[in-house]
Structure 1
Amino acid sequence: MPVSQLTRRLVRERANRYCEYCHADERWQFIRFTIDHIRPQSAGGSDKADNLALACRNCNERRGNRMTGRDPDSGEMVVLFNPRSQLWSDHFVWDTTRLRIVGQTPSGRATVVLLDLNDDRHDGDVIRIRQRDLLDGYHPPQDDPVLPDESPG
């Protein structure tokens, strides 16, 4: 049974229309974001709101049905970021340019790598999109943490 329209609306509103992984803003995209099963249905995940996240198509497709990824610092397999049980700001920050997401924890780093959150190699070019959104005042979300600028001066 597909996720109900009411539940879809709740998930979208709860996320304030941001992808819960890369924090892209759905309002400025060309296609609606998808509803992601945090614990995939293939692993017994439900269609209940507490197992669902709003995700842009890139994040949803790249995550697929995986719940773990490799932390590039330690090489260990770790559980990916879970937007229902963890805060984005505990695991990620924006770099000083506000264009690249930096993982701050093993879970955050593994999620950045697996979902390729800073992809600048494909036609979608998220960095270019973020640059445009930054110039237009839509990016990053107001409450997201940013690394401090360490330049002299």
Structure 2
Amino acid sequence: MSTYIAEEVKARVRRDAKEQCGYCRSLQKYVLGILEIEHIIPKALNGTDDEENLWLACRLCNSYKGIQTQAEDPLTKTTVSLFNPRQQKWVDHFIWTEDGAYIEGITPVGRATVKALQLNNQIAVAVRKAWVSAGWHPPVEN
């Protein structure tokens, strides 16, 4: 489904997201490829192109997210909404493991999002380990 989002809107989303994936926190300057403007509520589920429904996501996170808006918390087995990077603070739902390679969900939303978006997939963990070795990771959270 093709959509047009004005360049000035894209620029504001990038600025607001601090050039960082809203889910795995990968910084644009370290990602091979442009971070994507993603629809928090997908267009396929009647999400809009309004700025408040847009955020940045890396290709991996965006592809794993697909049209999901909810997922099961693996601990409580309840269905919860996925993390909304525009409305929620990352640090309220996630932490980095001590080695900086893995994201742990600390709330039902966080745990469900980690699982649904496969935030600790093999590729992401390998790249994060390299970034940690280079002193680039984990990112400083505001």
The normalised TM-score by structure 1 is 0.87
- Write the letter of the residue equivalent to 2:113: T
- Write the letter of the residue equivalent to 2:54: L
CA deviation profile, 1:30-70 (whole Å, cap 9, x unmatched): 10011110011122211111111100001111111110001
- Write the letter of the residue equivalent to 2:76: S
Q: 1:112 corresponds to which residue?
A: 114
CA RMSD of aligned residues (A): 1.1
- Write the letter of the residue equivalent to 2:124: V
Q: 1:137 corresponds to which residue?
A: 135
Q: 2:87 corresponds to which residue?
A: 85
Larger Rg: 1
Q: 1:62 corresponds to which residue?
A: 64
- Write the letter of the residue equivalent to 1:143: E
Q: 1:16 corresponds to which residue?
A: 18
Structure 1 segments of 4+ aligned residues over 4 angstroms from their partners: none
Q: CA deviation at 1:77?
A: 0.9
| CA distance in 2 between partners of 1:13 and 1:68 (Å) | 26
Partner SS, residue 80 of structure 2:
strand
| CA distance in 2 between partners of 1:44 and 1:98 (Å) | 36
Deviates more, 1:106-115 or 1:35-44: 35-44
Q: 2:45 corresponds to which residue?
A: 43
| CA distance in 2 between partners of 1:6 and 1:42 (Å) | 24
| CA distance in 2 between partners of 1:85 and 1:37 (Å) | 13
Structure 2, unmatched stretches of 5+, are none
Q: CA deviation at 1:143?
A: 2.3
Deviates more, 1:37-46 or 1:17-26: 37-46
Partner SS, residue 96 of structure 1:
coil
Match of 1:2 among 1, 4, 13: 4
| CA distance in 2 between partners of 1:42 and 1:27 (Å) | 30
- Write the letter of the residue equivalent to 2:34: R
- Write the letter of the residue equivalent to 1:140: P
The normalised TM-score by structure 2 is 0.94
Aligned residues: 140
Structure 1, unmatched stretches of 5+, are 145-153
